[in-house]
């Protein structure tokens, strides 16, 4: 019963390096989200996807790119990492946006440090 799985769970980068965070869900959810969590800031939405092949910007999209080539996977990329991107990143998924409000299911988080 995996739910939402994020890899890697920890990563240290140097400024300017690139990396990709992978999120995989096995619940056949349509909607997927990437959030970042910073002390005193709560969770802020980076990008989201309402279905395979679609992505959209959230509240804080700058410096990140995403792709949703398969329904079950949502990738978050950092092209040129900056110290300001040091954070804990959470992926989440939900079944449907409209109609009765759905619960978001979260992964365990990926802690990224940019030196």
Torsion sign over Cα 19, 24, 30, 35: negative
Cβ proximity of 109 and 89 under 8 Å = yes
| The two structure tokens encoding residue 79 | 């092209």
Q: Judged by CB under 8 A, which stretch of 15-23, 38-46, 64-72, 76-84 contacts another protein?
A: 38-46
- Gap between the Cα atoms of 49 and 64, Å rounded: 14
Residue from 43, 67, 71, 86 binding another protein (CB under 8 A): 43
* Binding of another protein by 22 (CB under 8 A): no
* Binding of another protein by 96 (CB under 8 A): yes
Burial, 18: exposed, middle or buried (Cβ in 10 Å; 0-12, 13-18, 19+)?
A: exposed
Residue from 7, 27, 108, 113 binding another protein (CB under 8 A): 108
- Gap between the Cα atoms of 45 and 7, Å rounded: 19
Residues 53-72 that bind another protein (CB under 8 A): 56, 58
CB of 65 to another protein, least distance (A): 18
User: Which residues sit at the interface with another protein, rule CB under 8 A?
Assistant: 4, 31, 33, 40-43, 45, 48, 50, 56, 58, 90, 92, 94, 96-104, 106-109
């Amino acid at each position: 019963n995996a739910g939402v799985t994020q890899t890697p769970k920890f990563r240290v980068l140097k400024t300017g390096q690139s990396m990709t965070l992978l999120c995989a869900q096995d619940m056949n959810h349509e909607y997927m989200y990437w959030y970042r969590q910073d002390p005193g800031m709560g969770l802020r939405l980076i990008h989201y996807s309402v279905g395979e092949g679609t992505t959209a910007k959230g509240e804080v999209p700058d410096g990140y790119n995403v792709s949703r080539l398969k329904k079950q996977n949502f990738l978050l990329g950092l092209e040129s990492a900056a110290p300001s991107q040091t954070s804990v990143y959470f992926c989440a998924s939900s079944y449907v946006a409209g109609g009765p409000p759905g619960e978001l299911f979260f992964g365990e988080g990926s802690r990224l440090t940019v030196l």
